[in-house]
Amino acid sequence: MRSLDGKVAVITGGNSGIGKATARLFVEQGAQVVITGRRKEALDAAVAEIGIGAVGITGDIADLDHHKQLANEIHWRFGGADIYVANAGVISLAQSSDVTVEAYDQQFAVNTRGLFFSTQALLPVIRDGGSVVLIGSLASRKVLANHAVYAGTKAAIAAFARSWALELKARRIRVNVLSPGPVDTAILGKLGISDEDRPGFARMMADMIPSGRFGEADEIARAALFLASGASSFVNGIDLPVDGGMALV
């Protein structure tokens, strides 16, 4: 028997990177998976790639109305969900002295405010005994250059998880954080790292990571599967680092 047979999972930002890898793995493990994303074309392509078992719903996690619509859609289509992976996020790197109000607000609107209110909206349709996995970041515990605002958005997530783990005790819904280190995904391009510069950047990062390399999206997905499935049935309120040991150095 597959570990997610009969389960319904919702994954925000599921059209690329860690989100898509997690959706693919969850489908392989028997789940019906709903992925969300802002760009319909990218979302449709991801659904086609993942195949039977995946459904896409277009929406922006920063849009609070989207969360209510998503919850209604989940209830109408499936009667509820068992797993919520809050994966969608944005990052904008800058020295604190150079951070603009717009960049600050965007990161908090998506990574923190959006995550909080998406969870609030979805909890009524998550079945008792379900699992919530919040995607955090190594940056919330390790100081990294130019990450002050991003780190702040992710640090709040761990506080949410601890509170929710207690608040949801009566419903037996577990809430955990998964905090990746550097992962080789398309987001590197969004940080201004060109394909030409990527090998050099990878070598530089490898020197900072005891495992000697970037993480892979599939590795983060396997950690998400652990937290989402019955394999972690006695794990609640933790922040699990999946960073190759980078937090140690």
Just list the catalytic residues.
150
What does the chain look like in DSSP terms, one character per residue? --TTTT-EEEEETTTSHHHHHHHHHHHHTT-EEEEEES-HHHHHHHHHHH-TTEEEEE--TT-HHHHHHHHHHHHHHHS-EEEEEE---------GGG--HHHHHHHHIIIIIIHHHHHHHHGGGEEEEEEEEEE--GGGTS--TT-HHHHHHHHHHHHHHHHHHHHTGGGT-EEEEEEE--B-STHHHHTT--TTTHHHHHHHHHTTSTTSS-B-HHHHHHHHHHHHSGGGTT--S-EEEESTTGGG-
Helix 115-122 and helix 148-167: axis angle, to 10°?
20
H runs (alpha helix) in 168-234:
187-190, 198-206, 217-228
